[in-house]
Structure 1
Amino acid sequence: MRFKARRMMAATAIAVLGISGLSAQTASADPPCYAGEVCVYYQGSLVSKFAPVSSGSCRYLSHSYDRLWNRSSFNQRAWSGTNCSGRNQLVVPYENANINYFWSVGGY
């Protein structure tokens, strides 16, 4: 009888550890970048995600970014300045581009 109780306690402990480890991994993961969205990252962490910026418009981001994933069907332009000025790089639809120290995104 004691052997059965120990085995049950061990199984419960393993289950608790497995569930707590799984929930910690889920909580720390970035939300996914869905089709139709534009997502920007800094050192591998998601900074912001949003609908594509329309042509002639500008979206300022409160944090610099070093990668832009354009999952939309519209060209997007990464800008080094906060108001879509300075150096820029075109990011075509479905491209995942590494970018160096940019602050805004504009439509193309």
Structure 2
Amino acid sequence: MNSGTHRWSVLPDTVLHWYCADDETLVYYEQAGTTHLLTATSAEALRFLEYNEANIGELVAVVSQTLTLDVDGDDEFFFLMEALVEQLQKLGLIEACAH
């Protein structure tokens, strides 16, 4: 599956509990009973996908704006976000939206 062409969101009825301290973010995924340590980038992406659907390009725009990153024309950040989405999917935290 090409993650760049799909829209993504947190699975329906997912309950995430967030804990933020200093530069660390922990998220507890209630249904699976798992806790994940997230980078700032992955935390912002997952927070956005908790309530919204987005493709990779939209996630790049939202996360870079939220974290005030200058990523215009930065293909590396796009590929990083694509890898992040694939990892979040493997963890069972997000899924491709059916459209």
- The normalised TM-score by structure 1 is 0.25
TM-score, normalization: structure 2? 0.26
Q: Which has the higher contact order (CA 8 A, sep 6+)?
A: 2
* Higher strand proportion (structure 1 or 2): 1
Query: Which structure has the larger Rg over C-alpha atoms?
Result: 1
Q: Between Structure 1 and Structure 2, which shows a larger proportion of helix residues?
A: 2
